[in-house]
Amino acid sequence: MTTSALAITDEHRDLADAASGYLRRADALKAARATLDGETAHPAHLWRGQVALGWTGLAVDERYGGSGFGLAELSVVLEAMGRELCPGPFMPTVVLAAWLNHCGSHPLKDRYLPALAEGSVVGAVTTRADLDLDADGRLSGNCPAVLCAQDAQVLALVVGDDVVVLESSVAGVAVTGVDALDTSRHVGDVAMSGVRIGDGQLIRHGARSLGTVVRILSAAEALGASLACLEMACDYAKVREQFGRTIGHFQAVKHHLANMLVDTELTTAATWDAARADDLDSAQFAAAVALSHAVRTSVKTAQMNIQLHWGGIHVGAQRASLSSSRKDFRSLVDQRGAGPTRRRRRATIWQGAWARFHSARRG
Q: pLDDT of 255-298, one tens digit each?
A: 999 999 999 999 999 999 999 987 888 899 999 999 999 999 99
Q: Would strands 162-167 and 241-242 be described as parallel, antiparallel, or unpaired? A: unpaired
Supply φ then ψ for residue 286, to 5 degrees.
-60, -40
With 0-12 CB in 10 A as exposed, 13-18 as middle and 19+ as buried, what is 278? exposed
- pLDDT at site 363: 61
- CA–CA separation, 306 and 328 (whole Å): 20
- pLDDT at site 310: 73
Q: Kindly report the pTM of this predicted structure.
A: 0.88
- pLDDT at site 346: 52
CB half-sphere exposure, 134, CA atoms < 13 A = 10
Residue stretches of the chain with pLDDT short of 50: 1, 311-317, 327-341
SS3 133: strand
- pLDDT at site 192: 96
- CA–CA separation, 279 and 286 (whole Å): 11
- pLDDT at site 330: 47
List, in order of start, the domains of the chain with CATH numbers: 10-118 (1.10.540.10), 123-203 (2.40.110.10), 207-361 (1.20.140.10)
- CA–CA separation, 283 and 348 (whole Å): 14
- pLDDT at site 180: 86
- pLDDT at site 324: 52
- pLDDT at site 282: 87
- pLDDT at site 129: 87
